[in-house]
């Protein structure tokens, strides 16, 4: 069992500190050429992408084979539509998706007409103590920076602008759990 002692030793519990940075570095090491942005929960990530990146021409499509993820999307779509956002299209999970996430197929795809692409990964429930977490994966640095800016004021790497600043802060506790998931493969 993890004891989370490093968190208490640094006295940093959130705000994109060492553990969150390490989790993202581990993801990026597993996904060469991609930038990875962690988010506090998958629903918050979907909502942020709906606000900042998705459009009729650049829709989000759920291609997940996980029942839990597809159910989350079905339910979340009610909220997205009620709050004036575009819903996520439920796509065919049988589609052979080329994903950069080895052993971790994309759950939601975001594709623009000019070929820019991102994958959204749902880490919810992949560890018994991890309720939810999401990761935005893309080789497009501008898209990734927008998602970082939507997440919080911490962990930004450069400048960007967002339509709606949200809150997707990924805690140091979630980060240590994610690291364990990634180490176990």
Partner 1 sequence: MSYFTTMNLPAPAHGKFLDLLKHYEDRPQAAVLDFEAALRRFFDVPAVCTWSNCFTSIALALRHAAAGRAPRVVVAGLAYRRTADIVLWAGLEPVFVDNSAHDLALDLSALRRTLSREPVGCILAQHPMVHLLDIEALCALADEFQVPVVFDSVEATGASYRGHRLGRFGVAEAFSLHPSKVINAAEGGVLTFGDEAQHRRFGKSMSDLGLWDASTGRPSMFQLEPLHAVMGLASVSIYEEVRDRHRSHFERYREGLADSRGLGLVQYDAETDPNYKSVLVQILNPSPAFRSRLMSHLESRRIGARAYYAPLHPLTQSAQLPAARALAEQYMILPIGHSVSLTDIDSICACIADFEQQSESESTGGVHA
Tokens of 39: 């988010």
Instruction: For the CB of residue 52, give the shortest distance to partner 1 in the complex, in Å.
Output: 12
Q: Quick one: which segment of 28-36, 40-48, 59-67, 107-115 binds partner 1 (CB under 8 A)?
A: 40-48
The answer to whether 104 and 64 have CB atoms below 8 angstroms apart is: no
Q: How far is the CB of 121 from partner 1 (least distance, A)?
A: 16
- Least spacing, CB of residue 7 vs partner 1, in Å: 8
Footprint (CB under 8 A) of partner 1, residues 74-133? 74-79, 82-85, 128-132
Taking the CA atoms of 15, 1, 31 and 26 in sequence, report the sign of the dihedral they define.
positive
135-161 b/e (C-beta count within 10 Å ≥ 16 → b): bbbbebeebbbbbbbbbbeebeeeebe
State which of residues 29, 95, 142, 164 lies at the interface with partner 1 (CB under 8 A).
164
- Determine if 172 is a binding residue for partner 1 (CB under 8 A): yes
The verdict on 159 binding partner 1 (CB under 8 A) reads no
Per DSSP, what are the bridge partners of residue 36? 137
161 binds partner 1 (CB under 8 A): no
Distances in whole angstroms, Cα of residue 89 to Cα of each of 54, 84, 169: 11, 15, 26
* Smaller CB separation from partner 1, 72 or 179: 72
CB-count exposure of residue 38 (10 Å: 0-12, 13-18, 19+): buried
Strand pairing partners for 49? none
Selected from 27, 31, 44, 60, the binder of partner 1 by CB under 8 A is: 44
Q: Which residues of the chain form contacts with partner 1 (CB under 8 A)?
A: 1, 3-5, 8, 11, 13-15, 40-44, 47, 51, 72, 74-79, 82-85, 128-132, 164-167, 169, 171-174, 177
């Amino acid at each position: 069992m993890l004891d989370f002692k490093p968190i208490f030793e640094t006295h940093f519990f959130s705000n994109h500190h060492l553990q969150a940075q390490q989790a993202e570095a581990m993801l990026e090491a597993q996904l060469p050429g991609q930038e990875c942005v962690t988010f506090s929960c998958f629903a918050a990530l979907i909502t942020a992408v709906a606000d900042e990146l998705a459009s009729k021409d650049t829709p989000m499509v759920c291609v997940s084979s996980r029942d839990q993820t597809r159910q989350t999307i079905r339910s979340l779509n009610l909220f997205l539509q009620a709050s004036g956002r575009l819903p996520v299209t439920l796509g065919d999970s049988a589609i052979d998706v080329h994903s950069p996430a080895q052993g971790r197929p994309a759950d939601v795809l975001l594709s623009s007409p000019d070929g820019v692409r991102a994958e959204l990964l749902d880490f919810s429930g992949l560890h018994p103590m991890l309720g939810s977490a999401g990761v935005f994966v893309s080789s497009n640095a501008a898209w990734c920076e927008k998602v970082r800016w939507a997440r919080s004021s911490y962990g930004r790497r450069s400048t960007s602008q967002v339509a709606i600043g949200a809150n997707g802060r990924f805690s140091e506790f979630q980060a240590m759990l994610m690291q364990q998931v990634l180490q176990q493969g």
